[in-house]
Structure 1
């Protein structure tokens, strides 16, 4: 065989438990559910928390950049931001030099919430029960899977 080993073609089972998509779906639901009791005292949903994570990193961000970071479209993101704004955590304003750009900024209350939320990543890391190496490998594989599946080619 020319000195090269061939890898066998994968056998794809029709059973639901054998589907990678089901494993991803079940894991996503379990992780999101695990966030719920951590976020409820903060008055946040998981998608709202993700928006705030972006803002806690940069304080003021164009809405299109939040959408890009979270892979959310404008129609999904706008209601999330409006609810955060109604809660007094963020404010929206048009950029003075470009009326087409909507900036989303943290309010003082939104910044204060960051202090209360600081323990969430560690709590979730503990709940996942992965070693740092396993965590990094899982994240890398999921990111690669996202790129592969999102690529229309």
Structure 2
């Protein structure tokens, strides 16, 4: 006969209701932001991802597609497809890398710069609204906590079951 274990039995910590989980709140905030911004995106012929990509290019200048993949945390195939769509719209120009012809460098056209500037202004309005809601004292705390969450999820691999 085996002896009973003396280790305490630990129950898994109960999850808070879905509406209170940070992962769901991030989803919901993104969905609400898209709802508010989609009329502008439709006017420009882009979606949220394309808008964000153009702002990245606006901020960083001509940029390798691999860097956009890194910043956006999306698959290479998605970014390649979106760059091609932006090029068809006349917002982005694609060029081969000078040192490595396999590399694609994306840069904004004059038309793309105008739309990216408008998208960046829209992003500022969203940021300002969040700042009002969160409050100036807590804004940096929330931003830094989200940056830590971003770092934590970069290498996250959920276990099965």
TM-score above 0.5: yes
* Shorter-chain TM-score range: 0.7 to 0.9
Confirm or deny that 1:121 pairs with 2:117. Answer: no
* Counterpart residue number, 1:130: 134
Aligned mates of 2:43, 2:139 — CA distance in 1: 27
Q: Over the residues paired in the alignment, what is the CA RMSD in angstroms?
A: 2.5
* Counterpart residue number, 1:142: 146
Contact 2:63 2:105 in 1 (8 A): yes
Aligned residues, how many? 145
Could you say which structure has the larger radius of gyration?
Answer: 2
Q: How does 1:28-67 map to 2 (within 5 A)?
A: 28-67=30-69
Aligned mates of 1:115, 1:150 — CA distance in 2: 29
Aligned mates of 2:44, 2:98 — CA distance in 1: 32
Question: How much does 1:51 deviate?
Answer: 0.5
1:136–1:14: structure 2 CA closer, same or farther, 3 Å change rule?
A: closer
Q: TM-score, normalised by structure 1?
A: 0.80
- Give 3-state SS (helix, strand or coil) of 2:93's partner: strand
Q: TM-score, normalised by structure 2?
A: 0.76
* Counterpart residue number, 1:151: 155
* Counterpart residue number, 2:23: 21
